[in-house]
Amino acid sequence: MLKTEDLSAWYGEARVLADVALEVQSGQIVTLVGRNGAGKTTMLRCLIGLHPQTRGRILLDGEDLGRLPAHQRARRGLGYVPDDRGIYARLTVEENLLLPPTVGPSPWSLERIYGLFPILAERRGHPGSKLSGGEQQMLAIARVLRMGARLLLLDEPTEGLAPVLVHQVARLLAEAKAQGVAILLVEQNLRFATQVADRHYLLVQGRVVDVLTNEEVRAREHQLLEHLGV
């Protein structure tokens, strides 16, 4: 579904991404792992069109997205959930879901959203400010699915969450994957990553230096944690 070829990006005179190549297929979860400053968030922002690429190609179902603005990429099915989640604090859960327009090729109905996120159905009348961190994360993911995203770009969805909420997010992502949603996930929590993902791209100073299976991550966990500075 998604493929990048030799993708590079800069901030001023600093090169942040260098010739990155990766692939995500429909119904797959793939992670980008690396220490802070490795270029993970910049990668997601390049994919959605919020940061310019200087070289390479971004292909979605074979179409080169490189010249398209962010809203046109959303119309083709990319959905971005930043690390701050972007929840409207004074709006209810249902208002947060209904406010953005449906723009992607396969928008989800509210009924389907509430079927996958029963906690949001229970909280539908609650303002965003009254949700827990995990519930806010679920709402942010649900919102882009309702808009029509078929490939999710998630930036640190478990950051700051209690272990029980991390488990809930893992279950949610597994269920979304089972329904054919593709997910590219930036994640520092290696144990969470191996619970949900199919493979892992290790990013070091803007370059992919390794592609790892879950078994390889588990076997090298101590080494990787030292490398990531965790």
- Tell me, what DSSP letter sits at residue 127? B
Give the whole-angstrom CA distance, residue 167 versus residue 154. Answer: 16
Question: Given this model, what pLDDT does residue 229 score?
Answer: 67
Q: What is the CA radius of gyration of the chain?
A: 17
The CATH architecture annotation of domain 2-87+149-228 reads: 3-Layer(aba) Sandwich (3.40)
Is the Cα torsion angle 212, 221, 180, 138 positive or negative in sign? negative
Q: Which residues are registered as beta bridge partners of 200?
A: 31, 212
Q: What percent of the chain has pLDDT over 90?
A: 67
Question: Given this model, what pLDDT does residue 187 score?
Answer: 87
Question: 207 φ, ψ to 5°?
Answer: -120, 140
pLDDT at position 88 over 70: yes
Average pLDDT over residues 53-67: 94
Choice between 59 and 191, residue whose per-residue pLDDT is larger: 59
pLDDT at position 103 over 60: yes
The beta strands (E) that lie in the chain are given as 2-11, 14-24, 29-33, 55-60, 63-64, 78-81, 151-155, 182-186, 199-204, 207-212
pLDDT tens for 4-26 read: 999 999 988 899 999 999 999 99
CA atoms within 13 A on the CB side of 225: 10
Question: Given this model, what pLDDT does residue 84 score?
Answer: 86
